[in-house]
């Protein structure tokens, strides 16, 4: 074959390769844009509409044993320059002391830093740690039948020393100090250990009372009288100044828009749950985190501690 024909054939192949590369790049780019629009993590329609006022919805659902999921939502919402207000939708009986305190602290920090209007909408239950979190907002709104309150601390475990004796088993402990195995369920608690744990519960209880008194503008003595662990309805909570008004989620959103000076045509941004994996997820490595979450690789037993801001009615399952 003549040399000039070989060179021409090479040139045609190179042009095809260049054209194919451009087409492939454009196709991948279109897929990425489509994935971002359709499977976007936030937005009433899956993506953010420019030029519209926006309210971010942060959900606190179920027992609170880690602050990370809620703080991640706060990071996503407060990291946007176009979000003017936040509404926390709380439907939780509470959970660990530290998780509730971490969320409470983060909410206060972001309100001060970003100047956002932050309101709480209480659902079926917003008790103990769920109510603690709500106290970090500018205004608390609940339905008349919402179960809330339960200002208090609980620590409990199942003691099985008699079962060990029945099975003729012995629990052997080598410790460095008197209280190192305090609360060991394999033996009776000593009076000194009981006093120690009661003092610790009282200290954590005092922190709860102080947080409610400061955030609600109430005398600590008045809050202390209410903090015997009792739950109350939304109507009673309003009479006791534990909440600000009666209303549902829609009412709370309207109040947030009003306080933030937003138009009635605001857009609600909320995190999509259980959305399908997209190409964008794979590129960002999100698929790996979703897989790890599904396998519960980051959930270690015993990580929740033994002291809780938790409403646990009789017969309810014990905290994990």
Q: Chain-wide mean pLDDT for the chain?
A: 81
What pLDDT is attached to residue 157? 84
Rounded-to-integer distance, Cα 189 and Cα 159, Å: 9
Of 95, 144, 104, 155, which is closest to residue 122 (Cα–Cα)? Answer: 144
State the sign of the Cα–Cα–Cα–Cα dihedral 181, 176, 207, 116. negative
- 68-77 long-range Cβ contacts below 8 angstroms, 24+ apart: 70/103, 70/106, 70/133, 71/102, 71/103, 71/106, 73/271, 74/106, 74/107, 74/110, 76/41, 76/42, 76/271, 77/42, 77/269
Burial classification of residue 242, based on how many CB atoms lie within 10 Å of its CB (0-12 exposed, 13-18 middle, 19 or more buried): buried
What pLDDT is attached to residue 263? 86
The DSSP element (H or E) to which 246 belongs, if any, is strand 245-246
Q: Which residues pair with 148 in a beta bridge?
A: 126, 232
State the sign of the Cα–Cα–Cα–Cα dihedral 221, 216, 233, 204. negative
Of 114, 46, 130, 40, which is closest to residue 80 (Cα–Cα)? Answer: 114
Which residue's entry shows tokens 């033996």?
A: 187
Cβ burial 1-31 (10 Å sphere, 16+ → b, else e): eeeeeeeeeeeeeeeeeeeeeeeeeeeeeee
Q: How far is CA 88 from CA 42, 81, 122, 235, 283, in A?
A: 15, 18, 8, 20, 31
Beta-carbon contacts of 53 under 8 Å, excluding residues fewer than 6 positions away, are 84, 257, 260, 262, 263, 265, 266, 267
What pLDDT is attached to residue 20? 64
What pLDDT is attached to residue 313? 74
Q: What angle do CA 303, 209, 90 make, to 5 degrees?
A: 60
Rounded-to-integer distance, Cα 140 and Cα 161, Å: 45
Residues 65-80 pLDDT 10s = 999 999 999 999 987 8
What pLDDT is attached to residue 291? 43
What pLDDT is attached to residue 51? 54
Residues 180-230 pLDDT 10s = 988 888 899 999 999 999 999 999 999 999 999 999 999 999 999 999 999
Rounded-to-integer distance, Cα 167 and Cα 182, Å: 23
Rounded-to-integer distance, Cα 161 and Cα 169, Å: 9
Rounded-to-integer distance, Cα 235 and Cα 260, Å: 26
Is residue 128 annotated as part of the catalytic site, yes or no?
yes
What pLDDT is attached to residue 214? 97
Is residue 227 annotated as part of the catalytic site, yes or no?
no
What is the value of pTM for the model shown? 0.76
Residues in the chain predicted with pLDDT less than 70, given as ranges, are: 1-21, 23-52, 272-305, 314-320
Q: Quick one: the chain helix, strand, coil %, rounded to 5?
A: 45, 15, 40
User: Of the listed 96, 128, 227, 278, which one is catalytic?
Assistant: 128
């Amino acid at each position: 074959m003549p040399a000039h024909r070989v060179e021409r054939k090479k040139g045609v192949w190179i042009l095809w390769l260049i054209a194919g590369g451009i087409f492939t790049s454009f196709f991948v780019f279109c897929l990425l844009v489509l994935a971002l629009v359709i499977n976007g993590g936030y937005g009433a329609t899956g993506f953010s509409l420019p030029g519209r006022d926006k309210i971010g919805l942060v959900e606190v659902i179920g027992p609170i044993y880690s602050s990370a999921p809620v703080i991640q939502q706060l990071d996503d919402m407060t990291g946007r320059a176009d979000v003017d207000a936040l509404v926390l939708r709380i439907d939780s009986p509470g959970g660990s002391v530290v998780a509730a305190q971490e969320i409470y602290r983060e909410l206060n920090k972001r309100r001060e830093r970003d100047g956002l209007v932050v309101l709480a909408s209480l659902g079926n239950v917003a008790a103990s740690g769920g109510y603690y979190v709500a106290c970090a907002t500018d205004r608390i709104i609940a339905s008349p039948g919402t179960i809330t309150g339960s200002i208090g601390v609980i620590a409990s475990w199942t003691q099985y020393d008699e079962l060990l004796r029945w099975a003729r088993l012995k629990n052997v402990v080598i410790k460095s100090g008197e209280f190192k195995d305090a609360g060991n369920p394999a033996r009776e608690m000593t009076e000194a250990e009981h006093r120690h744990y009661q003092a610790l519960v009282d200290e954590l209880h005092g922190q709860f009372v102080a947080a409610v008194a400061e955030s609600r503008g109430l005398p600590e003595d008045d809050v202390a009288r209410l903090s015997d662990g009792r739950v109350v309805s939304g109507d009673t909570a309003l009479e006791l100044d534990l909440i600000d008004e009666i209303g549902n989620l829609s009412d709370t959103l309207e109040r947030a828009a009003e306080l933030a000076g937003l138009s009635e045509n605001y857009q609600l941004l909320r995190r999509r749950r259980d959305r399908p994996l997209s190409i964008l997820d794979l590129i960002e490595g999100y698929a790996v985190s979703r897989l790890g979450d599904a396998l519960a690789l980051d959930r270690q037993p015993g990580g929740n501690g033994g002291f809780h801001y938790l409403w646990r009615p009789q017969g309810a399952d014990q905290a994990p």
